Structure 1
């Protein structure tokens, strides 16, 4: 007799996993077959377990379904093949060129803030612009590993100084929701539940200094810093065609000044 517990366990066979990714991407079997130069019949046989896909087919389907690199390894293992993509720690000597390139990029962006985070929003690297914004943040939030979502939304973090906190908080939570739709990550879901439960500081959103008109091109983060009002829009970049899980999950976030007042203030503060 099958127990209730075993009934609740997720199906880890490659066919159901591929079907889950296809349904998540809202792609029909026929459409996927056309993309992958296969047939809908073969895709059906793979998903139901009647046919074992080759290693090449697993990778081809994963590519056309835009499956994250970490999950491609999981698909290969489920199909009985060895993982294709390594997961190299950032402090490994082989990552030295990447680290140097990231450091040069972050320094070159100063005095504007920029940082690099991983899939769980842990800060991998940051420049002096970010360090400047963190003035006044509780020391425990700055103890490694530092998490940018906690830094931003915690009541003892940057949140009390974000003048349009309800809007910016909603943007960040929506960003995490999109990320959870791409990654099957229990730690990411736990982080989301934690930061979503943080209480809003008293009077959040009622600060008369918060500008009523936002730039038309993007929602800014408006933050008070040492008596100045700074306004930033966020841009996020990732690496193209990564062949390593660590690199695939890195994201470079740059905070671009949204007005001339912020440009002048950052130049004065950096000087």
Structure 2
């Protein structure tokens, strides 16, 4: 196979640049000045009359604040090889980061913690997260490995969310913002449409709300019978990642808002430890 044919762009680079420039609400002149190139050259790139070099594309991507995955797509569209690797989380080159993530999850016990990708998919979770989910779901596991689906599906965690409308509105707000800021992420757009399609979702949520910013601190209230578990979350990301996988990961740690929540989480952990010890004693008898 001809290597040049194998590297043929999947989408014209000019189309991608126009799409991103529109999403950032920049004129050609604005983008050209930010990228340190002439407006005429940028115009020729967008119309296909000029072939941009890798350095030019890097400067344009910086000016547009493009994520690493989209920078790779831009390079491919121009006929170049991707500039950033995308390694599986279990790859040897990410072993150090994997250990750091496992340490964060373990340190968060007995409270929930999750590793989440850019589309809210849960890649891993600690025991605290699994125990809390099973408790509020009456002993069963969640049907989804995606936070959006868990919180919007009436057959999953949604009935256990005492403040569902508040939490769901924030999730929709974040999804709208992500879709608007990353115009080429079709999967995020599809996830937004899926969330909006669940029963009971207000119709006006289809329109992006630009009048309010996301809440700086959101409390998630989970309820089973007369027991409420209240958490707020912190997000850990990786500084200056050079790998697509790391750039798209974040670790969400849930902290108890009150003593009652903290006490119940410890009780859930103790109950599991007691069951494990009982199994071990029986097996050794």
Q: TM-score, normalised by structure 2?
A: 0.76
Q: Is the 8 A contact 1:29 1:43 kept in 2?
A: yes
Q: CA deviation at 1:55?
A: 0.4
Q: Is the 8 A contact 2:142 2:156 kept in 1?
A: no
Q: Is the 8 A contact 1:36 1:64 kept in 2?
A: yes
SS in 2 for 1:168: helix
Residues 63-97 of structure 1: CA distance to partner in whole angstroms, max 9, x if unpaired?
Answer: 22111211111111111211111111123232222
Superposition pairs for residues 1-271 of structure 1, below 5 Å? 12-135=11-134, 136=137, 138-139=140-141, 141=143, 146-183=145-182, 184-200=184-200, 218-225=217-224, 227-271=226-270
Residues 245-254 or 216-225, more deviating: 216-225
**How far apart are the structure 1 equivalents of 2:59 and 2:69?**
15
SS in 2 for 1:253: strand
Q: Is the 8 A contact 2:132 2:265 kept in 1?
A: no
SS in 1 for 2:114: strand
Matched residue, 2:283: none
Matched residue count: 244
Q: Is the 8 A contact 2:121 2:146 kept in 1?
A: yes
**How far apart are the structure 1 equivalents of 2:124 and 2:225?**
24
**How far apart are the structure 2 equivalents of 1:140 and 1:260?**
26
If each structure's helix is expressed as a fraction of its own residues, which one has the higher value? 2
How large is the RMSD of aligned CA atoms in angstroms?
2.4
Residues 124-133 or 259-268, more deviating: 259-268
**How far apart are the structure 2 equivalents of 1:196 and 1:266?**
32
Q: CA deviation at 1:225?
A: 4.3
**How far apart are the structure 1 equivalents of 2:185 and 2:17?**
17
The runs of 5 or more residues in structure 2 that have no matched partner are 1-9, 202-214, 271-285
Q: Is the 8 A contact 2:142 2:150 kept in 1?
A: no
**How far apart are the structure 1 equivalents of 2:62 and 2:239?**
13
**How far apart are the structure 2 equivalents of 1:27 and 1:264?**
52
Q: Is the 8 A contact 1:133 1:225 kept in 2?
A: no
Matched residue, 1:3: none
Classify 1:267/1:217 alpha carbon distance in 2 versus 1 (closer, same or farther; 3 Å). farther
**How far apart are the structure 1 equivalents of 2:126 and 2:200?**
28
**How far apart are the structure 2 equivalents of 1:259 and 1:41?**
60
SS in 1 for 2:115: strand
Q: CA deviation at 1:119?
A: 2.1
Q: CA deviation at 1:217?
A: 5.5
Q: CA deviation at 1:62?
A: 0.7
The runs of 5 or more residues in structure 1 that have no matched partner are 1-10, 202-215
